[in-house]
Amino acid sequence: MTTWNNLFPKIHFHPILLLFIMISFLTGTFVELFILFSIVLFHELGHYLMAVKFNWRIRKIMLWIFGGVMDTEEHGTRPIYEEMLVICAGPFQHLILQFIIVIVSEAHLFSQSILDLLFYYNTVIFLFNLLPIFPLDGGKLLQLFMSKYIPYKKSYYFTVFFSMVVCLLLIILQLTVFSFTLSTFFLFIFLFMENRMEWKRRTYAFIRFLLKRYEKRNKFRKRTSQIQVMASDSLMDVFSNFYRERNHTIYIKYPNHTTQVLHESVCLHHFFSKKSYIQTIGEVADKMK
């Protein structure tokens, strides 16, 4: 059921947006900023409407100059196809807006200079959001694609680290090769800091992923994978091999060459309910004998 909060989510404005508003007043580019902000709203509307369609729980929408972030607990807990539709719904809005611009241009309802700005910024924001930088749509799609073929933790950690590297590379190019613009420089600094913060809380994000599995909210998992681990491995080492949309059968190898089999639900139960944070998978298995 769609909740009241989902119908009317809280909208927050990131401090960097306020910084750009100040810059626009100082540089006389307030009209350009208003056009950018309107396109960003239209972009986020696509994410929001698709998320509501799938009954996602949405805490808030954070808006900044070249995009926004829909704060939800559902990333990593929903089917891959569902997340892909929610992510792609944002860029799809730009195609709709491009079509509207063409229709309005043919009808001569607005000045051509305004329509040219709309066309230009709509194209720029569309392409910008496809950059492989988290939390841009391109970065999310990269992580989503990788999580289909490698364990969730590796895909998530790689995406955040890769995003920081790309941001640093673009900052260096901005200072040495491309023509320098203050707004672009601040933008990539902001994205780098966002990913740096995401990197610091990467363990929390992974624990949240595991907790959703433990709560059995991933009812869509149909595929089963086998994981081979040593008895001396910690539970977190075992969890690091978990894939999205799969159940896991864990084969534990002991030094005496014997093997014991556990299901992932047993390991998650010991970790979250019995708080076996420092126990090895072998110690957990021994308790089950």
- The predicted-structure confidence for 219-229, as pLDDT tens digits, reads as follows 656 678 899 99
Parallel, antiparallel, or unpaired: how do β-strands 58-64 and 10-13 relate? Answer: parallel
Mark whether 197 and 120 lie in a shared domain.
no
Query: Is residue 15 in some structural domain?
Result: yes
Same domain, 17 and 115: yes
Boundary (domain end) residue, out of 185, 204, 220: 220
| Domain total of the chain | 3
> Could you tell me the pLDDT band of residue 4, with boundaries at 50, 70 and 90?
very low
Q: What would the pLDDT profile of 233-258 be if each residue is shown by its tens digit?
A: 999 999 999 998 888 999 999 998 89
Residue 58 has a pLDDT of 83
Domain final residue pick, 83, 114, 129:
129
- pTM to 2 decimal places: 0.84
Give yes or no for residue 232 having a pLDDT over 60: yes
Are 157 and 93 contained in the same domain? no
pLDDT-based confidence at residue 146 (cuts at 50, 70, 90): very high
Q: What is the pLDDT of residue 41?
A: 85
pLDDT at 1: 46
Which is more confidently placed, 235 or 4?
Answer: 235
Residue 68 lies in a domain: yes
CA–CA separation, 147 and 179 (whole Å): 36
Instruction: For residues 87-109, give the mean pLDDT.
Output: 89
Q: Which of 233, 251, 244, 234 is nearest to 210 (CA)?
A: 244
pLDDT band for position 186 (cuts 50, 70, 90): confident
Domain interval for residue 195: 152-220
If asked whether residues 102 and 203 sit together in one domain, one would say no
What pLDDT does residue 257 have? 85
pLDDT at 164: 97
Give the residue numbers annotated as catalytic, written as ranges: 44
In a domain, 278, yes or no: yes
pLDDT of residue 157: 96
